[in-house]
Amino acid sequence: MPSSNSNAESLTADILAGSPDVGVHYSRFRLPADLDDRIDAKVLGDAPSLLSDAELDAIAFHGTSGSWTGLEGDRALADSLTEATGAPATTASLALVAALEALDAGRVAVVFPGPASIMALIEREYSARGLEVARSSVPATSMSNPEISRMSGAEIGALMKPAFGSDVDAVVCIGTNLRSAYLAAGFESEFGVPVVDSATATLWHLLRLAGTARPIPGWGMLLATA
């Protein structure tokens, strides 16, 4: 996971609090300075091989850059993770798409805590994958990864709420440092629309790849129906 991420580990521990049979292990790498840079095995450095020593059942790159730099690059990255560890692999971006397929969600709204210019690339990439982005919600000003992690619940809710409506099959929250998972169940109850959070989707996909999928209530429709 990116060295600047402070959400994923604590969130995953919260979600798996009732699953003592599942162990989750982490290794960190430093993100490139430019959001446009593609993440590959060279960027990850020794992180995958260090995790390989734990004899994993599944592994994920816990980042969403493939949502705008291209999912084909993420598939190549997943292949490199499997080569390094011997475990089936995914990425947060691939997990999001897999979750949308599982939910039969083809028309979505996207919440992204980054610049509108990157959001336009996400829309293009999703369109190429047969996913229609009906609308999107981005912040008024650009934020760093640590700044995203420090957003309050009220700020995150204000970013998410414009995405909801009866005309979409799901709301996708792109960014594993955005603490949207904690608000997912509440918004789903209010609007009746699934929320697919990046960090939640990554865990959902990892559990499936590891052959230990199970319903986990309290965190939204995706995990509840696993």
> How far is residue 169's CA from residue 144's CA, in Å, rounded to a whole number?
30
Which CATH number belongs to the domain containing residue 166 in this structure?
3.40.50.12500
Of the pLDDT bands very low, low, confident and very high (cuts 50, 70, 90), residue 226 is: low
- Nearest Cα neighbor of 81 from 50, 38, 112 is 50
**130 within a domain of the structure (yes/no):** yes
Instruction: Say whether pLDDT at 81 is over 70.
Output: yes
Q: Read off the pLDDT of residues 101-110 as tens digits, 9 standing for 90 and up.
A: 999 999 999 9
**225 within a domain of the structure (yes/no):** no
**3 within a domain of the structure (yes/no):** no
**201 within a domain of the structure (yes/no):** yes
Query: Is residue 4 within 8 Å of 145, Cβ to Cβ?
Result: yes
**109 within a domain of the structure (yes/no):** yes
**1 within a domain of the structure (yes/no):** no
**2 within a domain of the structure (yes/no):** no
> How far is residue 78's CA from residue 180's CA, in Å, rounded to a whole number?
25
The count of structural domains within the chain is 1
Q: Read off the pLDDT of residues 6-22 as tens digits, 9 standing for 90 and up.
A: 999 999 999 999 999 99
Q: Read off the pLDDT of residues 45-78 as tens digits, 9 standing for 90 and up.
A: 899 999 999 999 999 999 999 999 999 999 999 9
> How far is residue 106's CA from residue 113's CA, in Å, rounded to a whole number?
22
CA 121 to mean position of chain CA atoms: 17
**61 within a domain of the structure (yes/no):** yes
Instruction: Say whether pLDDT at 32 is over 80.
Output: no
Domain holding 33, by residue range, is 8-220
**Separation in Å, CA 58 to CA 21, 86, 173:** 14, 9, 23
